[in-house]
Amino acid sequence: MRPHHIRDILFTREQIEQRVKTLIEEIAGSCEAENLVMIGILRGSFIFLADLVRGFEQHDLHPRIDFITLASYGSGTESSGSVRILHDTNENLAGADVVVVDDILDSGCTLSFAKDLFLKRGARSVRTCVMLDKQAKRTVEIKADYTGFPVEDVFVVGYGLDYDNRYRELPHIAEVTFGEQDR
């Protein structure tokens, strides 16, 4: 791990809670409830997906829930561009209305890979939901159907996002600064 500091909080716990609440309403207001499957991309989406689905009951939404583990990053902070399946989903997706959930949309490789994969497996529709959208880094043309917040081109951690698999537990989202020096 490179020397680094976690300093500036970009989104507080309260801001995240508020935004998640409105995302739940957006999803509930626009999704086909009958055959809904929520699929989280691991590991970054685990907190976000859990927060989203806990708000579903009051909208009478009872989706199937599944996960897929995809890798496009090593232990560094740059996308490798190619995506691999490390652990696959279990649910039958034929005819399903899928919502894929990820922590952050960066180059777009991961989300467009997942979307194509689930469509190929027979999903009737695939929508995408991300907590953060780092638009500056997009190399693949994709726009999420539901987005929490846009974010600048900085490396962020917390609320499921990690640096070298650490800091996922932070209740807020913060910027990582790299280097030895103190500010």
**Residues at the site binding ligand XMP, with contacts judged by CB under 6 A:** 41, 44, 72-73, 79, 102-111, 134, 155-157, 161-162
CA dist 138 → 81, 91, 107, 135, 143 (Å): 11, 30, 4, 6, 10
Length of the chain: 183
Taking the complex as a whole, the smallest distance from the CB of residue 60 to ligand XMP amounts, in Å, to: 30
Which residues in 17-172 belong to E strands, given as ranges? 36-42, 64-71, 84-87, 97-105, 125-133, 146-150, 156-157
What span, in angstroms and rounded, lies between the C-alpha atoms of 151 and 159? Answer: 14
* Between 93 and 161, CB nearer to ligand XMP: 161
Catalytic residue among 103, 106, 133, 162: 106
Task: State the minimum distance, in angstroms, from the CB of residue 156 to ligand XMP.
Answer: 4
Look up residue 69 and give its amino acid: T
Catalytic residue list contains 106: yes
Q: CB of residue 36 vs ligand XMP: minimum separation in angstroms?
A: 22
Q: Which helix (H) or strand (E) holds 175?
A: strand 173-178
Give the nearest distance from C-beta 58 to ligand XMP in angstroms: 28
21 versus 84: smaller Cβ distance to ligand XMP: 84
Of 97 and 103, nearer to ligand XMP (C-beta) is 103
DSSP 158: B
The residues with which 140 forms a beta bridge, in sequence order, are none
Residue whose CB is less far from ligand XMP, 25 or 152: 152
Residue numbers annotated as active site: 106
